Each structure stands twice: as C-alpha cells, then as structure tokens.
Amino acid sequence: MAEEQELLQLENLCKQLYETADTSLRSDAEKALVAFANTPDCLNKCQLLLERGNVRNYILNYLGTRPKLVHYVLQALVQLFSRITKLGWYDVLKDEYVFRNVVTDVGKFIQSGSTQHIMIGVQLLSQLVCEMNRVSEHGLLLHSLRLAHNCLTFDFIGTSTDESSDDLCTVQIPTSWRTAFLDFSTLELFFNLYSGLPSSLSPMALSCLVQIASVRRSLFNNAERAKFLNHIVTGVKDILENPQVQGLSDPSNYHEFCRLLARLKSNYQLGELVKVDEYPQVIKLIAEFTVTSLQMWQFAPNSVHYLLSLWQRMVASVPYVKASEPHMLETYTPEVTNAYITSRLESVHVVVRDGLEDPLEDHGLISQQLEQLSTIGRCEYDKTCALLVRLFDESAQRYQELVNAGGGNSPELTIQQGRLTWLVYIIGSVIGGRVAFASTDEHDAMDGELLMNLTDSRLSQNGCEKLDLAILSFFEHITNLKFWGRSEQIISKTLQLLSDLSVGYSSVRKLVKLEAVQFMLNNHTSDHFPFLGINAGNSPMADMRCRTLFYTALGRLLMVDLGEDEERFEQFMMPLEVFDKVNNMLANADTPIKVEEAKRSLVGLARDLRGVAFAFNTKTSYMMLFDWLYPNYTPVLHRAIEIWYSEPSVTTPVLKLMAELAQNRSQRLQFDVSSPNGILLFREVSKLMVSYGISISFSMLRMALCGNYVNFGVFRLYGDDALDNALSMFVKLLLSISQSDLLDYPKLSQNYYGLLECLAQDHMTFISNLEPQVFLYILSTISEGLTALDTMVCTGCCATLDNIITYLFRRLTSKKKKNHPSAPQDSEAFLRILELHPEILQQTVLNIIMFEDCRNQWSMSRPLLGLILLNEEYFNKLRASIISSQPQDKQQTMAQCFESLMEGIERSLLTKNRDSDKNIPP
C-alpha cells in the first residue's frame, strides 16, 4: 500500500512539474524529482510506472491538450511514446496487455476532427510502426546472419583452418545438408539479403555467400555443380551491373565481394567457369570492376589481393583448359595489367604531393602483389612488354634530364625515382614469372628486350636506396656491389638474380653479348668486386658463401662460347691461380692475423672453384678444370684439412668442393679408355676422406662409388689401398656417430643411407667381412631407417635390405664355388651372425614391413619375399598366430589370403618370381 502511495506521489510531482503555472510549486516538484533520480530504487520505481502505463497515458494526454507544440518537442514525445509502447508490448497488468490498446487510444486523435490532432495521431502510428519494424528486424537479421555464418564456418572435420590462408579455404559441408544447397533459393535468399539490407548488415550476407561459394566440390555431381556455379555467377553479375546501388562503395561490402570473386577460381576450374550462362558479359564486368578498383588504389588496398588472386589463378589455368568455349582472358587480362602498372605510377605523384604513406615501404604487400602480377603479366606478354618499354623509356629519359640538370632533391626528381622504382620492380616481376617448361623463344626474346632496355639506360642511382634495391632485379647493376660491398643482403639478392638469369637457354645467350657480362668474365677480382676480397668489411666467413653463387653464374656464362677453347679457359682462371700464394700462407701462418688471412684465402678459393665445377657440366669443360686442378693444386686442399680439421668453417667448403668434383653430373665424368683420371680422382677423394669428414665425407664417397666412372677391381689387382682406406674410414666414422644422430640430422641421414645402399649393391663382400658388432650396428640402423619420416631414407633402407637378403639367400642356396685367388673372400662370420641372431631379420624387420604404416608399399615389398624364404619357420608361426587371432568366421578368409599370397611362388629370388603381383602386400 505504501508503494502505491509513493507511485501516486511521483505521478503528482510529474504533473506539477509539467502542468502547474505556480513557479514555486514547479520548483519544489523539480527538486523532489531530482532527489528521487539519485535514489538507489529509482530504476525500479520507473519500471513500475511503465507497467502501470501511466507515463504513456500521460504523454497521450499531454499531446492531446497541447497540439501546437514546437516540432522537435513533438517529435521527441512521439518517439518516447513509441519506444515505451514497444518495450512494454508484452507486459501484463491484471491479465491485460495494457500497451496493446494503442490503436484505440491513438484513434481518438484521428476521430477528433481537428487537423492538428489528426496529424499527431498519424505521426504516432507511423513512428510506432517504424520503431516496431526497424529495431526488431535489425536485431533478428543480425543474429540470424551470424548464426548462418557460424554454421558455414564451423570446422566439421577438425582441421583448424588457418584464417590467414583465406583464399584456399574449402567449406566441408556435411552430406546431410546437401538438399539445402541443391535448393538454389538458398543462394537467391542471401543475394537478396545483401541487396536489401543496410550497410551494417549486408557485409555479413556477403560473407555467408563467400562460404557458400566455397563448399566442397564432392557435395555435388558434375551437373549439379555446374547449376550451382551458374546461380553464383548470376548473382555476382547482378551486383557488378549496379555496383553503387548494390553498396560496393562501403569498404566492408567491397572487401567481402572481392573475397567472393576470388573464390570463383579457387574453388572452381576455369573450364567450368567458361560454361556458365553469360560468361562473356560476366568476365567483362569483372575486368571493368578490377580496373576501377586498381585505379582507386587508396580505397581498401588490402582487398586488391583477392582480385589479383582471381586473375592470377585464371591465367595460370589457361594451358589446362580443354573446354571449347573461349575464356577471353587474352582480351581482358592486358587491361588489368595496364591498370595495375599505370595506377602504381600515378600513385607516386599523389604520395609525394600529399605526404601520404608510400606503398613502396610496405615490402610484404608489394612482394605479394608482384608475385601475382608475375603470372598475370605473362598473358599477352607482347602487350605487357610494349607498355613497360614505353613507360620506362619515358621515365628514364625524364629522370636523366633532371639528374643532369642538378635537380637535387626536388619533388619532380623524387617522383621520377618513385616511378622508376615501381617500373624496375614490375619488370623484374614479369621476367621472374617465366616458366621454363612453358616458355617460348618469343617470350625469351621479349625478356631479353626488357633486360637490355633497362641495362642500356645506365641509370644514375643518385643516392636513392629504394631505386637501388629495385635495380637488383637485373644483373647489369651488379656493379652496385662497389657501393654496397658490406651489405650481405644486397650481395646475395643480386647474385641470386644473376644466377637465375644465367639458367635460361635463350636469355643466357643474349646476356653474354652484353658489355657488362664480358667485363665480369674478364675482371672477376676484388679490385672490381669488393666482396671477393678476403677482408670484405671483416664480415663473418659464412658471408663468403655468396661467392659460389657468383662463380656458378660466371661459369654458365663462360660455357656459352667456351667449347674447346683452352686459351679462353686459362684466361678466365687467371684470377683463381693463387694456390701457390695460399700454400705459402699455410707454411708461414705464424701469427693470428696471418692464420686468419690464410683461412679466408683458402675458403674463398674453395667456394669459387665449387661454383665453377657446378657450372661445368660437360665432359670437355670438366676435363679442363680437372687438368688445371690436379695434380698441381689438390695437395693444398689436403694440407688445409690436416691443419684445420677441427674448424668446420674451413673444412666444409673444401669437402664440398671435392664432393662436387666427384659428382658425375650430366655424365661429365666419361674418361677415355686410356685415361687413369677416374682412379686418380677417387684416390683424391679417398685421401681427403681419410683426413677428415662425416656427413660430407659420406656424400663424397657415395658420389665416387655410384658415379660409374671407376673400375674398382683395378685397386685390388694392382695393390692400391685407396678403396680399402676409404671404406675403412667409413666404418670408423660410422662407429663414432650415435644411432639417434643418424636420423636426427637430415643431411647426415640422407648421405649415410644413400652410401649404404650403394655399398649393399656393389660391395656386399666388404659388408660381409665386417666385424660382427659393426654388421649388427648397420642392420639396426636399417631397421630404424625403415620407420623414418623421410621417404628417401625409407626407400633407401628397403633397397639396402633387399640387396643384403638377396646376397644372403644366394650364399645359403648356392653350391660352393672356387673363387679366384685375387678375388676378395666372403666371410662365413657373416652367416653365423645371422644364425645366432635370427630375430634381427625376424622380429624387427619382418614385423615392420608387415605391421607398420606402409608409406612406400612397392619399396617395402621388395625385401619381403627374401625375408619369408629365409625365415619360413618363423613366417609359418606368424601366419598361424595371425589367423587364430581373427574372429572364427574370418579365419578361413584370412587363411585363404595367405595361401593366395604364396601361391605359385618358388624358392628363388628370380626377377619374375619376386615381381609377381601376389608378393605385394595389400
């Protein structure tokens, strides 16, 4: 009762505040209501007032008695009335929805006959309808769209998709949802929602469409997928035809629409796209939209990635399209390329004029866009080249004029530097987009034209680091190394690009004709290229690795016109004839400074020669190098290994040089019948390996043993111990390594298991004569290697095991034969070891092959027959155990499988017997 009295008192105070003409009474009422507003139960009391409907009724009475209120007061009261009615729509007082008699109450205004009251009544109803519709619809749609989006982005298969790889996402929709996507009204619903909703909601509708467009292909058959894609493209076409009306001026809508366009190619094939209805109109609209977007480079720059991704993927797919319908990319792709290039150049003026953030500073974004442009620009490449040549000539000419006129740091000079920077980056990008297997002579010629156009310009860098870094796209400016001799990053990038340019058949023949290339071939000394010096800025010795890349490129360029010209070869090698000097350094290295100088000289020379050796992949060129190096200079390498055997920074380059020399790349080590060079080379490898080495030594020995250029029987015939020394050092090195390290270090494991495979194939007599503990150690490493994650290691182990088992089986089944006195004798200890330890092959190897995860089925099957024939008793027990472990109703089937496996198999390891399909486990 007290509460009721308090509410009546509040109503009376409100009435006094708004209606009384007594100033003092109104002032007292205002003070009382202000004090009430500061009380803790103010909100609860106001809620009770709303539930009574008194405030709403008061507003109606107030409006009814004062129809001529000022407009903004009237509008505020109307909005308050509508909001109160909306919020109290479901409130009940004495079993009555007190707020739902609004039509009756407002109808009194309309029935009054007064124009002003009628206008107020209509305004009340109009505002109430807007209030009820706007707020409710917005909230419902927002939550509904979020629900749809959350469902479409749900990780149904637990892959935890990385959102950063957006363009590669596939939505793994459950098959039970298939009917919803076959009902194309679902697609139309979301397109309609996008076009009809305000900008606060429409991006969410587009985001849902992005996910719908990405549903897994296997959800449909070919016909259904074509219809589904057709409806998506139709919706995209409607948006593109009216971009402003469709709200693409909103950044969020624009971004999501770009994502939707990108999904058209990432989830569908170009051959499917060209078959959709009205494809010619759609591709034209997409091209126009892309061109406009590129020209508006300041608007949503992060969204351009998706558009370029679309065009990149479409252009890359052109060679694989088999559809008869035209893709029309040759018409519209040049427009996209033109728009990107010209818009980037035009942006420079705006950046300099307005002091905006320079897009060239965002190296990540530039790298990403240029990678995409490298593919796009190769479509209709003649048009791309013509545009770039014209624009570059114009900018280069203007830039040189400004430099010659002493432009200093004028804005115009800065603008031209920016334009040239963009052009050099773009030219480097499109040349870098060359695909060797798809390149043509015409494209190679255009690459050469772009290259020579840039190199002939002879730009003056004038202290612009941005332009200098961009010019690293071309080797002509390798002379920049005179100024950046201490920058390892710039040196490495420059030399890598020079090496890449020296690979192409046509391009390398164009390059070698340039004056700059001839200068490098004749003047590759530290006087002209400081990074070739032994004290280049006191940099770490590891920075000298770039010298190998440099000499690889020079070697390729020299090979173009070398032929059998020994005089030309000798002239090229003159800067490298410093072995005598290095030898003297080794003999007189009695101070720390002299020791460091000797190390650097030797390491630099080894890296240089390795680059030359890598490039010389023909018999003639290799023999020139070998005759130059042996026997005059190889002792220096041996001496260095003996002195600095414990310093990897020295030993690694020397050992890698010897490994490269032993590599029979492109069958270059084809010595004449009367030539002892193959044996001499192997002896040098053996000496170096005995002096030092583990991983690289394994690599050297493997290349020497597998090169097929040495008759190893000659060594025993003439009492040469080079082969025995090398194999003995292999055993010593192997025993110095823990078994875990063999698999923990990838390079070591690949070299070791590759060498072991070679030994098992051609040198089983050596393996059979090993000490028991060594042979058991090797078998255990094979067992571990069979389960390695590296496929090369696993495959090599299978081949090694197959060779060992084959050798063992033949020893056990063949009759005793009298060997030649000079031939190596097979050891019986080898057989006794396996007799005493049959579990090595039984429980370990056989179980791995039969029960472990079989990643290389064919390779794993090779030793299986030999293992079975060697361990028939164990295999029979194992078969019985497996059969008995099966349910009763499946035992007969399992037994039949084993019988089928061995049906028709003889006790031999002949090729036709072991290659039977029945030997391959299921």
SS (H, E, C) 226-291: HHHHHHHHHHHHHHHHCCCCCCCCCHHHHHHHHHHHHHHHHCCCHHHHCCCCCHHHHHHHHHHHHH
Asked if pLDDT for residue 294 goes beyond 80, the answer is yes
Place of tokens 């407002």: 106
Burial class (CB in 10 A: 0-12, 13-18, 19+), 541: middle
Which range in 220-224, 399-403, 469-473, 789-793 is most confidently predicted, on average pLDDT? 220-224
Place of tokens 């849902």: 208
**Contact criterion met (CB below 8 Å) for 249 and 257:** no
- Output helix, strand, coil percentages for the chain, rounded to the nearest 5: 75, 0, 25
**Per-residue pLDDT, 865:** 80
Banded pLDDT at 337 (limits 50, 70, 90): very high
DSSP type of residue 92 = B
Q: Which stretch of DSSP H or E encloses residue 14?
A: helix 2-19
Asked if pLDDT for residue 328 goes beyond 80, the answer is yes
Contacts 24+ apart (CB under 8 A), 762-768: 762/705, 762/712, 763/705, 763/712, 763/727, 764/803, 764/804, 764/807, 765/824, 765/825, 765/826, 766/727, 766/824, 767/804, 767/830, 768/807, 768/826, 768/827, 768/830
Asked if pLDDT for residue 918 goes beyond 50, the answer is no
Q: Each residue of 880-897: pLDDT tens digit?
A: 888 888 888 888 888 888
- Greater pLDDT, 184 or 837: 184
Rounded Cα gap, residues 498 and 503, in angstroms: 9
Which range in 163-172, 470-479, 724-733, 903-912 is most confidently predicted, on average pLDDT? 724-733
Asked if pLDDT for residue 243 goes beyond 80, the answer is no
Residue type, 483: F
Greatest CA separation found in the chain? 138
**Per-residue pLDDT, 679:** 85
Asked if pLDDT for residue 849 goes beyond 70, the answer is no
Banded pLDDT at 804 (limits 50, 70, 90): confident
**Per-residue pLDDT, 464:** 65
Q: What is the CA radius of gyration of the chain?
A: 41
Name the nearest CA neighbour of 849 among 839, 838, 861.
Answer: 861
Three-class SS of 820-861: CCCCCCCCCHHHHHHHHCHHHHHHHHHHHHHHCCCCCHHHHH
> What is the dihedral angle through the alpha carbons of 609, 615, 619, 621, rounded to the nearest 10 degrees?
-60
Rounded Cα gap, residues 68 and 115, in angstroms: 11
Which range in 282-296, 528-542, 705-719, 782-796 is most confidently predicted, on average pLDDT? 282-296
Which range in 309-323, 682-696, 834-848 is most confidently predicted, on average pLDDT? 309-323
**Per-residue pLDDT, 448:** 64
Rounded Cα gap, residues 253 and 242, in angstroms: 13
Please confirm whether the linkage preceding 631 is cis (ω < 30° from 0).
yes
Residue type, 358: D
CA 334 to chain centre: 26
* Distances, alpha carbon 377 to alpha carbons 268, 434, 878, in Å: 22, 10, 63
Banded pLDDT at 333 (limits 50, 70, 90): very high
Mean pLDDT of 836-851: 60
Which range in 7-11, 95-99, 452-456, 710-714 is most confidently predicted, on average pLDDT? 710-714
Give the SS3 label for residue 188. helix
Number of Cβ within 10 Å of residue 432's Cβ equals 16
CA 646 to chain centre: 38
In percent, the amount of the chain with pLDDT more than 90 equals 12
Given its phi and psi angles, is residue 196 left (phi above 0), alpha (psi -120 to 50 degrees) or beta?
alpha
Asked if pLDDT for residue 74 goes beyond 60, the answer is yes
Mean pLDDT of 327-349: 92
Banded pLDDT at 543 (limits 50, 70, 90): low
* Strand partners of residue 215: 171
Rounded Cα gap, residues 579 and 602, in angstroms: 8
Question: Rounded mean pLDDT of the chain?
Answer: 79
- Sign, CA dihedral 376-380-383-385, equals positive
Which range in 336-345, 389-398, 483-492 is most confidently predicted, on average pLDDT? 336-345
- Sign, CA dihedral 386-389-395-398, equals negative
Instruction: Tell if the pTM clears 0.85, that is, is over it.
Output: no
Q: Which of 173-177, 740-744, 780-784, 815-819 bottoms out in mean pLDDT, i.e. has the lowest?
A: 815-819
Banded pLDDT at 61 (limits 50, 70, 90): confident
- Greater pLDDT, 388 or 906: 388
Q: Which of 96-105, 440-449, 591-600, 799-808 bottoms out in mean pLDDT, i.e. has the lowest?
A: 440-449
Q: Each residue of 164-202: pLDDT tens digit?
A: 445 457 888 888 888 888 888 888 889 988 888 888 888
Rounded Cα gap, residues 313 and 265, in angstroms: 7
* Strand partners of residue 520: none
DSSP type of residue 215 = B
* Strand partners of residue 171: 215
97 φ, ψ (degrees, to nearest 5): -80, 90
Banded pLDDT at 673 (limits 50, 70, 90): confident
Q: Each residue of 123-152: pLDDT tens digit?
A: 888 888 887 766 555 677 788 888 888 888
Banded pLDDT at 917 (limits 50, 70, 90): very low
Rounded Cα gap, residues 686 and 904, in angstroms: 48
Rounded Cα gap, residues 145 and 197, in angstroms: 11
Burial class (CB in 10 A: 0-12, 13-18, 19+), 596: middle
In percent, the amount of the chain with pLDDT more than 70 equals 81
Rounded Cα gap, residues 121 and 123, in angstroms: 5
**Per-residue pLDDT, 681:** 85
Burial class (CB in 10 A: 0-12, 13-18, 19+), 21: exposed
DSSP type of residue 39 = S
Rounded Cα gap, residues 798 and 804, in angstroms: 10
CA 858 to chain centre: 30
Burial class (CB in 10 A: 0-12, 13-18, 19+), 320: exposed
Banded pLDDT at 462 (limits 50, 70, 90): low
Give the SS3 label for residue 171. strand
**Per-residue pLDDT, 399:** 84
**Per-residue pLDDT, 336:** 94
The encoded tokens of residue 190 equal 């979301």
**Per-residue pLDDT, 230:** 92
* Distances, alpha carbon 139 to alpha carbons 127, 200, 592, in Å: 18, 11, 79
Give the SS3 label for residue 323. coil
Q: Which of 98-102, 222-226, 281-285 bottoms out in mean pLDDT, i.e. has the lowest?
A: 98-102
Banded pLDDT at 916 (limits 50, 70, 90): low
**Contact criterion met (CB below 8 Å) for 860 and 919:** no
Asked if pLDDT for residue 400 goes beyond 90, the answer is no
**Per-residue pLDDT, 482:** 45
Angle at 889 between CA 887 and CA 892, to 5 degrees: 100
Rounded Cα gap, residues 779 and 808, in angstroms: 13
